[in-house]
Each structure stands twice: as structure tokens, then as C-alpha cells.
Structure 1
Amino acid sequence: MANHYRDILATPGVVGLAVAGSIVRLPQAMVGIGIITMLVQQRGLYWLAGSVAATFTLANALIGPQVSKRIDQHGQSRVLPIVTAFSITMLLALMIAAHMVAPAPLLFILAALAGTMPNMPAMIRARWTGLFRGKPQLHTAFSLDSVLTELAYIVGPPLAIGLSTGLFAEAGPLAAVLLLAVGMTAFLLQRRTEPKATMSDGKSGISTLRFPGLRIIVLALLAMGVIGGSIDVAVVAFANAQGWPTAASFILAAYAFGSMTAGLAFGALRTAIAIDRQFLIGILATALTAVLPILSPDVYIMMAMIFVAGMSFAPTMVIVLNLGTIILPPSRLTEGLTWMTTGISVGVALGGALAGQIIDAYGARAVFSVAVAAGLVMVVVVLSGLGTLRAASATHARLTFPCG
């Protein structure tokens, strides 16, 4: 396993990209929960806190692909400083407005404007692709990327919550802003790994979502996001029903560690299985393991089941990213990767909302049915679009990476 990771880390510019990328990922994991904690601390209104955070998340999901499209056209170093500065300004304005007990509509407007924050996972993955496109190292690089993403979501939310509750209400989102400024500066200094701007495919007027296969991937990832979003809420409800509320954090950590462990192991593998078949296998594994939590009678078994369920997430995402680099032209790569992230983000929000409704109506255990239903939808979407995916990746029908 170590040899494959040593190979990519020995590539000039990779260590700097990994370090800067690890810093600049954190704000994306911190801002939403930071806004919630800040507003709850200040006003004690959960509906307002959740709604303002959801406004930021939805705006970020919808605006992100448009920002990424400009980046594909003009390059990261020209676009990222502008949109980052604007987003930071709006986040600071949101914190000031919240501190001054400004009217709720202003909070929503500022949260929506702050949603211009660039989708940094897509920017980082575009750089990995630029370094290793068409090479076996890309598979390992995406696996490392998935592990670093999981780490960001393990560290980021507790950090934001702890700062806002332990220091002052605005401390969590303020730390996210500072990390965004520092991380973006470090990221942009990595000029060696920056992909070139290009719009040479002659299709600049066509929506990237119209490229064959991308819509199928985005829809599948939306359903995958529903699984993740519903499990987050379901685990909290299950732990409360078991009389052990704090166990929810350990259970969710098990999900992340399962994903990280599988991601690291998957990065060491080489396979000659066609990429579309890999995608189908990953989706089937994700759907099947989504059934496991509903079988858990107590917290301990739930933790084990969630760990196993999490093991399908990172490998499936690695396959999705590899597939994306095949079906998308270089001139649309960042935008296409951002649409994938948008699919997951919208799915997570939808899954959380559906889970809340199910809990109120039928109780904690029933909420796991949302994940099972989303898994079935995901499988149907992929099976119905498998022919399109196979055709879209026809020129790279098999990944012929050497084993070992």
C-alpha cells in the first residue's frame, strides 16, 4: 500500500497541494454548522439558525458550478481570489449583522451572498487530474483526497462548535473565515499544480449537465447524499431513543473512519474492471450496506454496522471521480466535478429534511428506511443509465492499470 502513496507524494508539488488543500477544505465543513451554533448561541432560535445555514448551503450548491465554469474559462489564480474575497466579506457581514441582532431577512440575504464561496474539493480534484490524468496514480490520488475530505469533516464541525460555545458565538464561523483566507493563500501559491485554463472544446454555450453520463452521475450522487443526510439524523434520533445521546458522535465517527479505512485500502489497488462496472459495483455496495443500520438493536451493534456502511462511501466516490475525468473534457472538468458535489450536497439536505419528517411521524428506527429507499433509487438510476455511461467512457472502456 505504502508504495503507491509514496509514488504520488514524490511527485513535485504534491506535498504542497496536499497540505494547502487540507487547510482550505476545513471552512467548507465548518461554515454551515458554525452559522447554526452562532445563531443558536445568540438568539436561541433553532428554526432561524437552521434556515440561515440551509440558505448558505443551497446557495453554495447552486452558485458553485457557475463559479467553477468561470474558473475553467479563466483559471484558478484569476477567479479564486475575487470570489473568495467576496464570500469572506459577506460572511463577516453576516457575523456582524447577527451580533447586532439585525432583522432575519438580512441574515438570509447575506448567507445567500456568502454562498459564492468556491467549491474547494472540486478545485483540488481538478489539480489531481491535471497531474495524473490517464495514469494509474490518479486512482491513488483520489483515494488520498477522499481520506483528507473525511478528516476535514471529522475535525471541522467539532472545532466550529467548540469555539462558538467555548469562546464567543461568532468564534466558529470567524475561525472558518480565517482558515479560508490562510488556506486559499497557501493553495494559490502552489502554482506548479494549477491546471491551465481552456475552452477549446467548442461547446462553451452548452450546459455541462448535458454531457453524456454526467446527469446520471449527479442523480446517483443526489440519492447517495440522501443516504448520508438521513443517516446523520437517524443516528442522533436512535442514540436519543437508546437513552445515550452522546453516543451519536461516536457512531457517526465510526462511519467516517469506515470510509477513511476503505479509501486508503482502495487507493492501493489496481484493477482492470471497466470503469462503468466499477461504478455499478460501488453503487450496489452502497445501497446494500444502507440496509445494515436498520437491523441494529443497540448502540454497539449500530456502531459496527455504520462502520461497515461507511466503507462503501470513499471507494465509490473515487470511482465516480475517475469516471468524471473520463467523460468530461478538460475544459469542463472543474464545473463537472462541482456539479457532482452539488448533487451530494442537495441530497444531504433533502435526506435530513425527509428524516426529520419520518422521525416525527413514525419514530427513530423508521427513519433508516429513508436510506434504504434512497439506495434503491440510486441503483435504478445507475442501471437505467449504464448504457449511456458505458458509451460515454467508450474510449477508456477498461482501466488497464498494472496490478501491484
Structure 2
Amino acid sequence: MSVSYAAVLRVPHARRTFTAALVGRLSYGVVPLSLMLAVTRTTGSYTSAGSVMALFGGTAVFLSPARAALVDRYGPRRALPPMTAAYLALLGLLVLALARPSLLVLAPLAAAAGCCCPPLGPTMRAVWGRITPDRALLQRAYSLDGVAEELLFVTGPLLVGVLVGFAPPAAGILLGAVLMAVGIAGFASSPAVRETPSGKRTARRGGGGLTGLRRPVTAVAAVGLTLGVVDLLTVAFAEDHGYGGSAAAWLLAGLSAGSAVGGLLNGAVAWRASTGARLSASTACLGLAVCAAGTAPGLVTLALSVAAVGFFVSPTITTAYLMADETAAAEARVRAGAWVNTAVNAGSTAGTAAAGALAGRLPVGVCFALTGAVALAAAAAVTRRPRRGTSELVPLA
């Protein structure tokens, strides 16, 4: 079997499992925007919508390792269906509550729904690690997975945009629930998932099988921070130069396109360097590209710089997932992937907050340079191995 993207999809049960996972993960791109639009429209308050979304997103992201621990402990077939049933029930209650909206009802329901959001992405990556034991093939599987996931987060909002043209935004929440139900049903019934054994409870003093995560988590936190900053700074740049919001949208599209190209090329290369060396190199290149974006004099040069930033986003995240898979014990792979995913989202949240605080006080170019410096510092931290006797453990959720 040749080591190619076609070979990835020829792995037994890979196409069925991956397709089902993508259907379910499309829900992640549909539900948040639909919920925000629905709350905004029914309450007439952006503050209420922001509060509800903060609770939904916060519990979904930061409790992901805890939900992943359940999947590791009991296996996907036993953990995902009840988790999904609770998630779908809470989405249904949210839709009902929107008929007579009250923040006292919507806020706890949104927080509870986020708590139950199935960790389908980390679980799919753990399945990839089990059905593709060849490391070169696994690299391509992770690259394909990452690019496909990024496209889903573009497709989801587009579907919502079409849907709200003829239906209320709450219909998008129901659509997301249906997508998740169909995806989980197909995923859990796949032979690749049925054959996945449940893990055994591991002792905390031994790290629960999660040793070696400091470097990948540090790198992807820097990636998330960069994405959060770049998203806001491109808008600020476009407005400062009189281009308007549509120009910012094209710049961000260039970021996604660069990430897709970089991810596919990274997966296609038969790397000889270790994952640690590649992780530090791609993180450093990301930092340099962000610094270069700060020197852009106009829209065209900024678009090229932002696309260059994107070119290193997907390879860095993919390599971090590979390193997490290499270092984690077999019974902790879902948690390892969840920690990487959580670090990206936490970094993005911090980056957006930092950019919002600094953009009004410092020139956009300086903000880009500071962000690039943080990414370069992360690359240096990733390069350094822990001293003998120290730990690389990530705290268990």
C-alpha cells in the first residue's frame, strides 16, 4: 500500500468511520452560530447572547479533557451514546426555552449543553492511531483530518447563513442536533470503533498515561493565541486603511486557505526529522510569519503574510497531535488529543482578549510583532527538553 491520502481512506473501515465523524463534527460549526443568532433575535440583547455563548463555549472547551477521560475509561461505544443523548436533550430544551427567553433559564441550559458536548474530534484521532499503526500513514491521516475539520468550521456557518434566510435561527440548533445524532450513530456502530477496547483506570501518581504533553500543548497554545490575535487585527487593519469588513473576510479566508495547503503538504512529505524537531521548527516559522505580517504596508502584502501564517498553522497542530499520540499511553489517547484541542481553543480565547485590549492602545504592526515574539518564545520552550527528573505531565481533568 502506497503511503498517500488515498491509502489512508483504503484502511479497513476508515471511510465509513471518518465520514460519520465528519457529519457529527459539522454540528460544531452549526450550533454555536445558530445559538448566538437565536438568543440575539429572541432577547434583543447582545449582552445576553454573549453570556450564553461564553457559558456554552467555556464548558464545551475546558471540560473536554474530562469528557475524553470517560471515553478512555469506558470506550467510545459506551461513553459517547449517553453523552450524546444528554447533549441532544439539552439542545432541545434550549430551543423550547427560546420561545419565552429568560437568561436565568438559557444560561444554565447552555452551560449544561456544553458540559455534555461529545469529544468526537479527539476520539476520531484516537481511532486513527489505532487503525493506522504505520507512522507515515498516521501523519497523513491526521493531516487529512485537520484540513477536513477546518473546512467544516467554514461550511457550518455557511449552512446557518442559508438556513436563516427562510427559517428561524433555532432551526439551526435542531439541524446541529440531527447532525450530531446521525454522526454518533454511524461512528459508534463502525467496526473500527466497536473493536476499540476500553481503558483501565490509571493511577494519578503515574500521570494517568499523559506524560510528555508539555511541548505539544505549549506549541498549540501559541497557535491558538496567534489565531485569536490575527482574527481581530485583520479587522482592525482593514478598518484603519479604509477597506471595510469585506476585506477582512477575504484576509481570513486567505488564512484558512494557507492552513489547508500547509496541512496537505505537511502530510504528503515523508519527514525524516523527529516530531519534536518539526514542532519547534513550524512554531518558529509561525512566529516569524506573524512578525512579517506586522510590517505589511498594504492589503495585498498583508494578505500574503496572513496566508503564510496560515501555512504553518495546520502543520503545527497536526505535529502536536502526533507527538501527543506518541507520548500518551494507549488508554489515554483521547485525553491527550483533548488536551491539545483545549490548548488551541484556550489560546485563541486569550489571543482575542489580548488583541482587544492592545489594539486600541498600540499600532497594529506592534501587536503583530508582540504576537510573533510570543510564538517564537513558545518555539524555544518546545525545543528545550525538560531536565532529568522533572515532569512533563499535564494535570488530569
The two structures share one fold, judged by TM-score above 0.5: yes
State the distance in 2 between where 1:20 and 1:364 align.
Answer: 42
Change (3 A) 1:274 1:301: same
Check whether the contact 2:77–2:193 (CA below 8 A) recurs between aligned residues: no
Aligned residue in 1 for 2:221: 222
Change (3 A) 1:216 1:3: closer
* Residue 106 (structure 1) shift: 2.3
**Mapping of residues 313-392 of structure 1, within 5 Å:** 313-362=313-362, 366-369=366-369, 371-385=371-385
1:60 aligns to 2:60 (yes or no): yes
State the distance in 2 between where 1:22 and 1:320 align.
Answer: 21
* Residue 370 (structure 1) shift: 5.3
State the distance in 2 between where 1:140 and 1:337 align.
Answer: 16
- Over aligned residue pairs, what C-alpha RMSD do you find? 2.5
Aligned residue in 1 for 2:87: 87
Q: Residues 182-207 of structure 1: CA distance to partner in whole angstroms, max 9, x if unpaired?
A: 2212222212345623435x734358
> Gapped runs of 5+ residues in structure 2?
393-397
Aligned residue in 2 for 1:29: 29
Amino acid at match of 1:111: A
Q: Residues 178-230 of structure 1: CA distance to partner in whole angstroms, max 9, x if unpaired?
A: 21112212222212345623435x73435858833213322332222111111
* Residue 81 (structure 1) shift: 0.7
Q: Residues 9-58 of structure 1: CA distance to partner in whole angstroms, max 9, x if unpaired?
A: 22211111221122111112232222222222223322222221121111
Amino acid at match of 1:82: P
Aligned residue in 2 for 1:286: 286
Aligned residue in 2 for 1:5: 5
**Mapping of residues 189-200 of structure 1, within 5 Å:** 189-194=189-194, 196-200=196-200
State which drifts further: 136-145 or 190-199. 190-199
Aligned residue in 1 for 2:256: 256
State the distance in 2 between where 1:208 and 1:97 align.
Answer: 42
* Residue 358 (structure 1) shift: 1.9
SS at match of 2:164: helix
Aligned residue in 1 for 2:177: 177
State the distance in 2 between where 1:42 and 1:101 align.
Answer: 7
State the distance in 2 between where 1:245 and 1:3 align.
Answer: 42
Change (3 A) 1:385 1:172: farther
Check whether the contact 2:4–2:137 (CA below 8 A) recurs between aligned residues: yes
Q: Residues 356-397 of structure 1: CA distance to partner in whole angstroms, max 9, x if unpaired?
A: 222343465554345324313422431344668xx98xxxxx
Aligned residue in 1 for 2:42: 42
Check whether the contact 1:154–1:253 (CA below 8 A) recurs between aligned residues: no
Check whether the contact 2:219–2:320 (CA below 8 A) recurs between aligned residues: no
Aligned residue in 2 for 1:144: 144
State the distance in 2 between where 1:363 and 1:35 align.
Answer: 34
Q: Residues 232-281 of structure 1: CA distance to partner in whole angstroms, max 9, x if unpaired?
A: 12222222333321122221111111111111112111122122111111
1:239 aligns to 2:266 (yes or no): no
Check whether the contact 1:36–1:53 (CA below 8 A) recurs between aligned residues: yes
Check whether the contact 2:258–2:310 (CA below 8 A) recurs between aligned residues: yes
> Gapped runs of 5+ residues in structure 1?
393-404
State the distance in 2 between where 1:387 and 1:280 align.
Answer: 17
Check whether the contact 2:202–2:209 (CA below 8 A) recurs between aligned residues: no
SS at match of 2:184: helix
Amino acid at match of 1:343: A
State the distance in 2 between where 1:150 and 1:195 align.
Answer: 28
Change (3 A) 1:346 1:183: same
Check whether the contact 1:72–1:335 (CA below 8 A) recurs between aligned residues: yes
State the distance in 2 between where 1:3 and 1:218 align.
Answer: 28
* Residue 62 (structure 1) shift: 2.3
TM-score, scaled relative to structure 2: 0.90
State the distance in 2 between where 1:175 and 1:23 align.
Answer: 11
State the distance in 2 between where 1:7 and 1:252 align.
Answer: 32
